[in-house]
Chain A
């Protein structure tokens, strides 16, 4: 079965430190990869995507993500975390072969400590 894994339910990081939120996927073909963020009582906001090309993609609010095809991973990173980055982060995968599927990971709660 096709799936997206976010192995950490919660990540804690001190303000100013680098952060990483992990995502791995098990999907056939060459899927499109996305990261979204959700603040309390809000919908999801798009951060960045990988379609093809350079393995390091840059997105909104200083976030970037590194695509690794051999490890089927797409980890979200930021060099210096802000308290305002505290939120729920979802990795998502859109299949490109077979029937359409848009699969979300289980989510990782990021807590940035002042």
Chain B
């Protein structure tokens, strides 16, 4: 069973739509991550929240906007996406802040298709 829950599992949206991806964990983890993964490729880090503060933004375009309302929730707001943004979006969490040595726990992702 996955302890990191992502919704929705699938999302199809047009380039002018606004949508949000949600991620939730109840393990008391203090770091949460967003990744983008293309087929058969490794995950690419997008954002890291450590103790509910944005600590890393890997130069992600502003059409992706992260939000961490509390220590258990992580959102990714999407607006005016491009077809090349179609991918699997993975959320992960880890026990300590970003400086810890604990592994990341991943959700099963949201498969996003941009028409």
Using a CB–CB distance below 8 Å, which chain A residues touch chain B? 32, 34, 36, 41-46, 49, 51, 88, 90, 94, 100, 102, 104-107, 109
Contact = CB atoms under 8 A, between A and B. Distances in A.
Contacts of B99: 100
A49 B105 CA distance: 13
Interface string B32-58: 000000001111010010000001100
Contacts of A41: 108, 111
Q: Which bucket holds chain B's interface residue count?
A: 20 to 34
A57 B103 CA distance: 14
Given A32-B101, A51-B101, A100-B56, A43 B42 contact: no
B103 A88 contact: no
Contact of A43 (B4, B40, B41, B48): B4
A17 B111 CA distance: 35
Contacts, number: 49
Given A41-B111, A104-B43, 16 more contacts: A32-B101, A36-B106, A42-B109, A43-B2, A43-B90, A43-B108, A44-B90, A45-B106, A46-B105, A49-B103, A90-B42, A90-B43, A100-B98, A100-B99, A104-B42, A105-B42
Contact of B101 (A43, A46, A49): A49
A36 B45 CA distance: 15
The 9 closest A-B CB pairs, nearest first, are A43-B106, A104-B42, A46-B103, A44-B106, A43-B108, A32-B101, A51-B101, A43-B107, A42-B108
